[in-house]
Amino acid sequence: MIDWTTLRHRIDTMANQLLADQSPDGAWRMCIDCGTMSDCYYLTALRLLDVRDDPLVRSLAARIVSRRSPDGVWRLFPDEREGSLDATAEAVLALLLSGVYTDRDPIIVSAKRFIREQGGLAKVRSFLTQALLCAAGIALWPRSLQIPLSAFFNKSGPLPRLFELSGHARVHLIPILIMANKRYALRTAYTPDLSDLFLGAPPRFDNDSPVIAALNNLIGAFSGLLTGGNDSLYEPAVTFLLERIEPDGTLLTYSTATVLMLFALNAVGRLPTDPILISAINGIRTLLCGNPPMVQIATPTVWDTAMLAFALREAGISPSHSALRRAARFIQERQQTRYGDWRIRNPGTSPGGWGFSYVNTRYPDCDCTTAALRVIQRSHGSPTQGHAAAAEPWERGLNWLLSMRNDDGGWPAFERNGKPLPAGLFGFNGASEILTDLSTPDLTGRTLQMLGETLGMSTQQRWLSSSARWMLSQQQKDGSWYGRWGITYTHGTGAAVLGLTAIGLTPDHPAIARAVKWLLSIQRPDGGWGESCYSDQRRHYVPLNFSTPSQTAWALDALAASLPALTPELERGVNALLHMLETPAQQLTRYPTGAGLAGTVYVHYESNNWIWPLLTLTRIERKFRRQRG
């Protein structure tokens, strides 16, 4: 049985706490924890570029050490059994560069032992880890990253083939190509000697193999690709980066891309005293969050504010409440008016989307735009046909979102009609997630849900029926859907079922019935749901040995949308979620239920323990409370 009084009390308690935590400008500022990669990147940049800020260096070192597991290694997620070679290598480099630790410290000794047991630094597979080690002079640049700039640039600027890669890939890859072509290695008095971690072999990576043949398959044959003569192309490559610097000095708001840009600019002769480098270093500083401070990969302020405001409205807070009016104003002010790279594959559409970060002005995404549209007040009931630049913000946002729909019927994150990579193009962990931006069931599901719930759209519209067919084609044989931006099949299935039912699929539809059966089959003994990040790596469901609030909420959302009445399984799930939420907010699980790059980056959104449980409890109360009284 569900104690409805307890459930309503939990909704009210969460809502009141969120109202108290709102910033005066209307935003909610919560942290995202992506592990220690960004911390290691920033600390390495501070030391190698001789930025004198010892208190910050010490605090970053403390943060990195705080994420060390009891067995002496670093993990990408808590249940990663063997530990992460890449994360441990980054930590060893950063901690030794900090000067706080030496080779003789037990923390370093045990970490080095683990690296050797894993086969040494030659076994590092993340291209972001490899780039950091190479920039610091620890390893030789892989031949696979020494792609001549002529592959992507001519003297007039970038070639069209560059934009076949995802936006986040471009701003990470171009700085790396600049450094790799320059054989850049910045060594200072702080640089440690890690040659022993290559186990007597040259300082190269095992997956260092030329990819030119495969690259040709992706972007066409290049004339004279392997010849030199790239010096004249550094200028357009650097210009490409400078044109994508955000107002806070960061490169497209990503801390890791900004560090790579710092090194790339230094590689072409810019000194650390250059105003652009100083602005970038200070921009990363604004990404610090928490205690000890961690470097976020980007600030989630727009996403968090939009989704929390939506959850509060669903929980019963009036849209006229001052908190929701402030939130709507904050969101509306961050609607983008500049053309970004998305325009290349979506010409003829005016700007109108929203980005993830509060300083993002040129890299909008579909998920944040969907969230923002739920919050801002629209003036009319349908998107304007033409003259979008002069339309109301809600209409401009909706027009942009609808224009981003891929030809296959799904929605991407950032840019429409991306192309899949040839199999085995790069031997790096997470290469396909880094380099491509395809339709995904989770983003498409949330978009369909908004269109159905907000505009009353359904599969009676032919184009939306096409989107539904694409979604159905993505269902796994076991009844689940893969979720690209959350962990993983629980996340994708929850979003898919909510989206499909919102546009008219009935609960007895075979796809919905299979999804319900799958969700019930993975319900944990405690009544909740928990899925491991291994699911993202292995591309099949892997259970977690405990339940998490966000994954339990995603599963309950799908069940509540599909089941006509309360069932024992649904009741057990609700009670499990309520039990989890009895834990003080600061003690709730920090398990990363957000996905970044498979095998490289997993994300704990602080807001995940608020947004999804609050939405789920509210929906369940609204639908089922009257049935049981």
The residue behind tokens 């891929």 is: 406
Q: Yes or no: say if 527 and 546 are a contact pair by the CB < 8 Å rule.
A: no
Helices and strands per DSSP (H, E), number in the chain: 24, 7
CA angle (371 as vertex; 586, 360 as ends), nearest 5? 85
Query: Whole-angstrom Cα distance, residue 345 to residue 407?
Result: 12
Among candidate residues 292, 17, 346, the one with its CA nearest the CA of residue 167: 346
Beta strands in 572-615 (DSSP E): 594-597, 601-605
SS (H, E, C) 86-144: HHHHHHHHHHHHHCCCCCCCHHHHHHHHHHHHCCCHHHCCCHHHHHHHHHCCCCCCCHH
Query: Whole-angstrom Cα distance, residue 612 to residue 550?
Result: 6
Query: Whole-angstrom Cα distance, residue 186 to residue 533?
Result: 35
Query: Whole-angstrom Cα distance, residue 609 to residue 588?
Result: 7
CA atoms within 13 A on the CB side of 457: 22
Intra-chain end-to-end CA distance of the chain, in Å: 11
**CA-to-CA dists, residue 331 to 178, 244, 302, angstroms:** 36, 22, 7
Helices (H), 22-53: 37-48
Residue 89 is encoded by which pair of tokens?
């290598």
What is the b/e burial string over 58-79, where b = at least 16 CB atoms within 10 angstroms of the residue's CB? Answer: ebbbebbbebbeeebbbbbbeb
* Three-class SS state of 378: coil
Say which of 341, 367, 442, 536 is annotated catalytic.
367
367 flagged as catalytic: yes
Residue 183 is encoded by which pair of tokens?
């054989």
| Chain centroid, CA 565 distance in Å | 35
What is the b/e burial string over 579-604, where b = at least 16 CB atoms within 10 angstroms of the residue's CB? Answer: ebbeeeeeebbebbbbbbbbbbbbbb
Which residues form the catalytic set?
367
